Structure 1
Amino acid sequence: MTCLHKYVHTACALACAGAFALSAHAQTLSSTEQRIAAEVKAHAPEALKLLEQAVNINSGTMNHAGVRQTGQLFMREFAALGFETRWLDLPAEVNRAGHLLATRAGTQGKRLLLLGHLDTVFEKDSPVQKWEWRGKRVRGQGVNDMKGGDVVVVEALRALHKVGALDNTTITIMFTGDEEEAGNPKSISRRDMIEAAKRSDIALSFEGTVTDKDGHATGTIGRRSSSMWDLHVTGRQGHSSGIFRNASYGAIFEAARILDTFRREVPEADLSFNPGLIVGGTETTFDEANARATAFGKTNVIANTATVAGDLRYLTYEQRDRVHAKMKAIVAQHLPGTDATITFRDSYPPMEPTEGNHRLLAVYSQASQDAGLGPVTAVPPGQRGAGDIQFVAPYVDSLDGLGASGGGAHSPNEELDPASIGRAATRTAILIYRLTR
């Protein structure tokens, strides 16, 4: 059931729960910052209404109309806060809906880039429920990943606007329409984001907040890349009775040797690699675009071909280059009568955990502690996958994971703690206030 008293009940509970914490730490917030925190709490019912509206619009990446409709919802919110808004269309061949861009210009403080995304993994025919209360938590398509984070951006900026703290600031907001499956080529689908980063000093992204073992929020100062590799193996075809004797081990044994050696010799910290598809035999096809393969072979024939497609995730380019060299060396140690080659393709760049990112996290953590919300620690970079912030991290100090808290992302059980919106918006608003003074 969804009705107004649900919102009021939840919002009041959040306000009461947070009142003691804020009063105990009020001396660490300036009078303006106290007003900002109070505005976030006062607007809690409206924040949940906005989130419900967004979640009930299906915006699967390939539902372009739904992505644009969700974008229009947030564009209205930003326009009401004094931002200039527009929709950035992408070329037809990219086959994506485009992006929301909102800007305001000033001369005061750091120039900020705020990132979110409008799309979800749930396409138009998804059986996953829309907005649904489950006790004190809510479920729905993209409620955690990441429409909750998008609402955090709105609510933080709304609180700043209410106290006049957005005046003379430079803030760019980009909510992409294809984060879950970025359009290709990425030189086009992420061009406007990169250009925005080059005009900014700091980037903040609002993917979901992960809590640590003590229940405190965390921030993301590093994320691993997303890249792919393709292994192509050939062998000398012949009668199976001659395998090993006639100097031919066949393509499948060679592929198995390579993969097992990868497993034993390549692993290191913050690195993962996964062979996601393998096909082998005497006749094979591999449709890379649709990730499909077919094979024909006989048990009495030595296989003459095998193909493996996998992914590789690394934290730094130095790690990438070292691992590429190690994998190539393993591939080159052919079994008799076989040959093999491996190729690599980068997709998302890594977000390296730089000193600048560490310093930004420290400012964010101080804002959280001053608001009575506890310290913010860093998520181990190896625990986060790819995200939009990685395209801008090479250009500016960056911090991710500033959104709401939930669980079950990308599953029918995706859910959110509604109270976390207020906590995240408070931390974010105070952080933005301090960065733009």
Structure 2
Amino acid sequence: MKPLALTVLALALGSARADGLSATERQIVAEVKAHAPHGLALLERAVNINSGTMNHDGVRAVGKLFGEEFAQLGFATRWSDMPPAMRRAGHLIASREGKQGKRLLLIGHLDTVFEKDSPVQLWRRDGDRVRGQGVNDMKGGDVIIIEALRALHRVGALDNTSIRVVFTGDEEDAGEPIAVSRADLVDAAKRSDIALAFEANMRDQQGRDTGTIGRRAASSWQLKVSGRQGHSSGIFSDSAGYGAIYEAARIIDGFRQQVIEPDLTFSPGLIVGGTDAGSDALGAAGQASGKSNVIARTATVEGDLRYLSYEQRDRAHAKMQAIVAQHLPGTSAGISFRDAYPPMSPTAGSLAVLQVYSQASQDAGLGAIPALPPGQRGAGDVQFVAPLLDSLDGLGATGNGAHSPDEDLEIASIERATIRTAILLYRLTR
């Protein structure tokens, strides 16, 4: 375990009382509960602003809404624009400087997958749940950050603390180059000791809220295959070979049979083949032409690769390349790989932060928080900073149907997560 993680765990756990919360912590919980309606109203306002990644005006509007909240809590706020060529709105950054306790980085995002031309799903309450665009992914998590900080502010617990908040405007579709679009986030991490990210909470098989100490990387691969064009009656012969489509099928099935291991996935998402075939620069659309009586001359496959560590990535790459190299007669093929989001590998330091969070939850009467199996989460912004400092994710709201028109949120999860977060922040900054 890192020395910092040991210190964080010892100090934070030491601040907990055997009978639960301290007097100040009980005041913090009371403030969270008293202002729960304000938090829900703020979430409704945010959800009713369309902020699809490419709706730059909408992303900025949500940023303005949340920025005003941070300013009221004594944070210095600014908007970080991206270069026009990147076609991204930019990020909201809020900060306050102090010398007390650990320096914290809180991570959220303003954008959703629902662009302006998506089926409109405005805020709709149904009993103890609400629906809306991005309600749990992740405007609910953004509100939890704000409301936890508000509770601390009202009891004077933000004084002399060092907290940075980065709400990115393109988490759902990160701008290129990544080195530019995530520069603000990485810079904030270098000035912090611990990162906390508020993507939606996920429950385990026992129905318990969890914490995320690992997330799999997001990367892609492209397979290009060539064969000998000729009359279909000659296929399988020494002179004609097997054609590009059979070779592509062999390779993909070889991946399925030989590369699988825990926490690793590789999915072919687009395949085109024929006399002439190929995909666009983004690997999101393809075109093909050919005839049933002509052996396919070319094939292209675009795929996704998710892994938990660079060692796992390297094993997968080696196995996939070896399979590609075993060509059927009359064919050739090559595979290339492209990394995007780095992995967030579980570490002792991140587990220590989770233990502090879990203890805060238990002391508040909300139960222990186990670690979510890392293979159950995809990519998120926290992964760009996890190699730099101890990190914990999944501190957000609880809901269903993220990225779908049926996305919803359990209203009670906002208060529950806000209480846990506020106590965690208080203990880490003492």
Q: Quote the offset at 1:214 in angstroms.
A: 3.6
For 1:159, which of 151, 160, 163 is the aligned residue? 151
Give the aligned residue type for 1:211: R
Structure 1 Cα separation of the partners of residues 271 and 305 of structure 2: 16
1:364 aligns with 2:351: no
Give the aligned residue type for 1:121: V
The residue aligned with 1:125 is 117
| Higher mean displacement: 238-247 or 62-71 | 238-247
1:101 aligns with 2:93: yes
CA contact (8 A) 2:200 2:397 kept: yes
Structure 2 Cα separation of the partners of residues 233 and 213 of structure 1: 42
Give the aligned residue type for 1:216: R
The residue aligned with 1:89 is 81
Structure 1 Cα separation of the partners of residues 300 and 124 of structure 2: 44
The residue aligned with 1:233 is 225
CA contact (8 A) 1:221 1:379 kept: yes
Give the aligned residue type for 2:101: G
For 2:370, which of 370, 373, 377 is the aligned residue? 377
Q: Quote the offset at 1:420 in angstroms.
A: 0.9
Q: Quote the offset at 1:211 in angstroms.
A: 2.1
Cα deviation 1:338-368 (Å, max 9, x = unaligned): 1100000001000001111111101100000
Using the size of structure 1 for normalisation, the TM-score is: 0.93
The residue aligned with 1:168 is 160
For 1:224, which of 206, 216, 227 is the aligned residue? 216
The residue aligned with 2:237 is 245
The residue aligned with 1:413 is 406
For 1:259, which of 252, 262, 267 is the aligned residue? 252
CA contact (8 A) 2:278 2:299 kept: no
In structure 2, the CA distance between the partners of 1:321 and 1:290, relative to structure 1 (3 Å rule), is closer
CA contact (8 A) 2:278 2:300 kept: no
For 2:321, which of 313, 317, 328 is the aligned residue? 328
Structure 1 Cα separation of the partners of residues 76 and 273 of structure 2: 55
Q: Quote the offset at 1:407 in angstroms.
A: 0.8
The residue aligned with 1:13 is none
Q: Quote the offset at 1:282 in angstroms.
A: 1.0
For 1:432, which of 412, 425, 428 is the aligned residue? 425
- SS at the partner of 1:223? coil
Structure 1 Cα separation of the partners of residues 248 and 117 of structure 2: 38
| Higher mean displacement: 298-307 or 82-91 | 298-307
CA contact (8 A) 2:215 2:374 kept: yes
Structure 2 Cα separation of the partners of residues 26 and 63 of structure 1: 50
The residue aligned with 1:28 is 20
The residue aligned with 1:22 is none
- SS at the partner of 1:367? helix
Cα deviation 1:314-349 (Å, max 9, x = unaligned): 000000001100000000001111110000000100
The residue aligned with 2:204 is 212
* Equivalent runs, 1:11-50 vs 2, <5 Å: 27-50=19-42
Q: Quote the offset at 1:206 in angstroms.
A: 0.4
| Higher mean displacement: 219-228 or 232-241 | 232-241
1:179 aligns with 2:171: yes
Structure 1 Cα separation of the partners of residues 295 and 201 of structure 2: 52
Cα deviation 1:123-149 (Å, max 9, x = unaligned): 112223201011221111111111110
The residue aligned with 1:202 is 194
CA contact (8 A) 1:230 1:344 kept: yes
In structure 2, the CA distance between the partners of 1:399 and 1:242, relative to structure 1 (3 Å rule), is same
Structure 2 Cα separation of the partners of residues 423 and 196 of structure 1: 27
Q: Mark the runs of 5 or more structure 2 residues left unpaired by the alignment.
A: 1-16
For 1:296, which of 289, 302, 305 is the aligned residue? 289
CA contact (8 A) 2:157 2:426 kept: yes
1:349 aligns with 2:322: no
The residue aligned with 1:268 is 261
- SS at the partner of 1:284? strand
Structure 2 Cα separation of the partners of residues 26 and 360 of structure 1: 19
Q: Quote the offset at 1:241 in angstroms.
A: 1.6
Query: What RMSD in Å do the two structures reach over aligned CA positions?
Result: 1.1
Structure 2 Cα separation of the partners of residues 26 and 97 of structure 1: 48
Q: Quote the offset at 1:26 in angstroms.
A: 9.3
Q: Quote the offset at 1:103 in angstroms.
A: 0.4
Percent of aligned pairs sharing the same letter: 70
1:392 aligns with 2:385: yes
| Higher mean displacement: 63-72 or 279-288 | 279-288
